[in-house]
């Protein structure tokens, strides 16, 4: 899912809390803010913070003044051979090449498992919009080649292409048969995409809420055994802040968790129960994170659910309808009309949409966002 889809899903999940509706009616949107923030938080952690602190074993850093594909090929081969010789996981960083304020040198890395070679080729110069600069397509015809000691199995569709902003990281993991499994963006959907992390953040919210509550109002616990009214006042103060604490916990854990669940519909999966699990659980392969229709449906259904929860939380509505009525009018009927129109406009045409891998889609989206 794209970032905005995760954000709207988080807000929709938060709207199911009666406390969120009650607070919103009183002018306090805190639970909706928490829901949207936690819905997008796992990707924010990965792409905006964690990747900058991730450890790399080998850096392939081309010289902008001397663009030599052979150097990059040798560095990639060194990383592969290091993983084979030391039988350990090796992280390889493919560094981008900046040529100016708005120009980047594009290059690609390909593994030829039949010849046991890695091939590197510099492509065109591109601008920050990833549009090739005219006349630079054939500026570097030379191809760098280097021998590798094992096959590198690429189990996803993402292309190893480096251009704007930050270059990608790939992980080389030794397998039992001697080959290497190539993992794209190993720092993504690692510990951050975990239900346990969401629960931990909820517990931190609970602790912070109770600490923020501080001492009870004056006259409440002072002389508690001498003043029954003071005891009731202090107890009510504690219960009020405890309610805010557990309601925040449920909101954070649920809205963080819906991001993890949505990512499991794709290919890459998530490390669902870190630290109990160490590896990503493969997704269901039902969709790609960049697919238009699933993202649109996620946002639209989220809007309908938010509308329904706000509607049923109103104290006195003059117009009444059921949830089924809302879904029929807002989702089923428009969806059927859309499907009919699409069929009429595209019948007889074989429309194929080029798809990327989940990681590739999200990586390109993050680069486009800077």
* Alpha carbons 80 and 334: distance in angstroms, whole number: 52
* Residues 195, 234 contacting (CB under 8 angstroms): no
Question: How much is the pLDDT for 354?
Answer: 57
What is the rounded average pLDDT of the residues 159-182? 91
Report the predicted TM-score, pTM, of the whole model to 2 decimal places.
Answer: 0.84
Q: Does residue 357 have a pLDDT over 70?
A: no
Question: How much is the pLDDT for 318?
Answer: 83
- Residue 142 neighbours by CB distance under 10 Å: 12
CA 19 vs. chain centroid, Å, equals: 28
What is the rounded average pLDDT of the residues 140-164? 86
Mean pLDDT of the chain: 87
Mind listing the pLDDT tens digit for each residue in 223-269? 444 444 444 455 555 666 688 889 999 999 999 999 999 999 988 88
What 3-state DSSP class applies to 6?
A: helix
Q: Does residue 218 have a pLDDT over 80?
A: no
* Two structure tokens written together for 340: 């009919």
* Two structure tokens written together for 221: 């616990």
Q: Which residue has the higher pLDDT, 307 or 208?
A: 307
Quote the DSSP letter at residue 85. H
To the nearest 10 degrees (0 to 180), the angle between helices 358-368 and 30-48 is 100
What is the rounded average pLDDT of the residues 107-113? 94
Q: Taking the C-alpha atoms of 134, 135, 141 and 142 in order, what is their torsion angle to the nearest 10 degrees? A: -80
User: For residue 98, which phi and psi values (nearest 5 degrees)?
Assistant: -95, 130
Q: Does residue 28 have a pLDDT over 60?
A: yes
* Residues 167, 95 contacting (CB under 8 angstroms): yes
What is the rounded average pLDDT of the residues 97-107? 93
* Alpha carbons 59 and 84: distance in angstroms, whole number: 17
Q: List Cβ neighbours of 119 (8 Å cut-off, separation of 6 or more).
A: 73, 109, 110, 111, 112, 143, 144, 145
Q: Does residue 209 have a pLDDT over 90?
A: no
What is the rounded average pLDDT of the residues 130-147? 91
Question: How much is the pLDDT for 113?
Answer: 93
- The b/e string for 118-137 (b: 16+ C-beta within 10 A; e otherwise) is bbbbbbbbbeeeeeebeebe
Question: How much is the pLDDT for 241?
Answer: 67
Q: Can you spell out the DSSP letters for 229-261?
A: HHHHHHHHHHHHHHHHHHHHHHHHHHHHHHHHH
User: pLDDT band for position 220 (50/70/90)?
Assistant: very low
What is the rounded average pLDDT of the residues 106-131? 94
Which residue, chain included where needed, has tokens 């269901």? 284
Q: Does residue 97 have a pLDDT over 50?
A: yes
What is the rounded average pLDDT of the residues 305-334? 91
Q: Which residue has the higher pLDDT, 78 or 370?
A: 78
Question: How much is the pLDDT for 217?
Answer: 46
* Residues 72, 42 contacting (CB under 8 angstroms): no
Per-residue CA distances from 328 to 36, 312, 331 (Å): 26, 17, 6
Q: Does residue 222 have a pLDDT over 60?
A: no
* Alpha carbons 294 and 137: distance in angstroms, whole number: 35
What 3-state DSSP class applies to 177?
A: coil
User: pLDDT band for position 355 (50/70/90)?
Assistant: low
* Two structure tokens written together for 67: 């663009």
* Residues 118, 79 contacting (CB under 8 angstroms): no
Question: How much is the pLDDT for 280?
Answer: 84
* Two structure tokens written together for 240: 């009020």
Per-residue CA distances from 31 to 48, 155, 239 (Å): 23, 40, 19
* Residues 194, 273 contacting (CB under 8 angstroms): yes
Question: How much is the pLDDT for 238?
Answer: 60
Quote the DSSP letter at residue 328. I
Tell me the β-bridge partners of 152. Answer: 180
Question: How much is the pLDDT for 269?
Answer: 85
- Look at residues 144, 157, 145 and name the one whose alpha carbon lies nearest to residue 184: 157
Which residue, chain included where needed, has tokens 């980047």? 104
Which residue, chain included where needed, has tokens 């010849």? 115
Question: How much is the pLDDT for 350?
Answer: 64
CB-neighbour burial class of residue 47 (10 A; exposed 0-12, middle 13-18, buried 19+): buried
Tell me the β-bridge partners of 126. Answer: 104, 132
User: pLDDT band for position 139 (50/70/90)?
Assistant: confident
* Residues 10, 259 contacting (CB under 8 angstroms): yes
User: pLDDT band for position 221 (50/70/90)?
Assistant: very low
User: pLDDT band for position 315 (50/70/90)?
Assistant: confident
Quote the DSSP letter at residue 150. S
User: pLDDT band for position 155 (50/70/90)?
Assistant: confident
User: pLDDT band for position 314 (50/70/90)?
Assistant: confident
């Amino acid at each position: 899912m794209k970032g905005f889809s995760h954000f709207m899903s988080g807000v929709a999940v938060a709207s199911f809390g009666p406390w969120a509706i009650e607070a919103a009616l009183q002018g306090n949107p805190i639970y909706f803010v928490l829901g949207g923030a936690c819905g997008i938080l796992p990707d924010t952690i990965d792409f905006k913070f964690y990747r900058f602190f991730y450890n790399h074993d080998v850096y392939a850093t081309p010289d902008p003044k001397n663009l030599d594909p052979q150097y990059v090929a040798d560095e990639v081969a060194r990383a592969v051979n290091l993983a084979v010789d030391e039988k350990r996981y090796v992280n390889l960083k493919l560094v981008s090449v900046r040529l100016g304020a708005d120009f980047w040198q594009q290059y690609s890395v390909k593994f030829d498992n039949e010849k046991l070679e890695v091939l590197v080729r510099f492509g065109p110069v591109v601008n920050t919009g990833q549009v090739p600069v005219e006349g630079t397509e054939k500026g570097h015809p030379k191809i760098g080649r280097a021998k590798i000691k094992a096959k590198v199995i690429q189990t996803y569709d993402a292309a190893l292409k480096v251009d704007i902003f930050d270059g990608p990281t790939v992980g080389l993991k030794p397998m039992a048969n001697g080959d290497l499994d190539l993992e794209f963006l190993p720092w993504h959907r690692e510990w951050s995409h975990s239900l346990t992390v969401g629960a931990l953040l909820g517990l931190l919210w609970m602790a912070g809420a109770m600490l923020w509550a501080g001492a009870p109002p004056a006259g409440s616990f002072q002389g508690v055994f001498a003043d029954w009214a003071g005891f009731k006042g202090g107890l009510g103060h504690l219960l009020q802040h405890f309610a805010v604490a557990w309601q925040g916990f449920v909101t954070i854990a649920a809205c963080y968790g819906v991001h993890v669940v949505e990512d499991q519909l794709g290919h890459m999966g998530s490390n669902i129960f870190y630290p109990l699990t160490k590896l990503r659980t493969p997704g269901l392969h039902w969709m790609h994170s960049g697919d238009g229709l699933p993202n649109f449906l996620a946002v639209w259904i989220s809007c309908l659910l938010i509308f329904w929860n706000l509607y049923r939380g109103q104290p006195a509505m003059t117009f009444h309808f059921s949830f089924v009525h809302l879904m029929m009018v807002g989702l089923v009927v428009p969806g059927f009309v859309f499907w009919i129109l699409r069929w009429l406009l595209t019948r007889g045409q074989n429309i194929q949409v080029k798809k990327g891998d989940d990681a590739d889609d999200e990586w390109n989206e993050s680069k486009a966002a800077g």
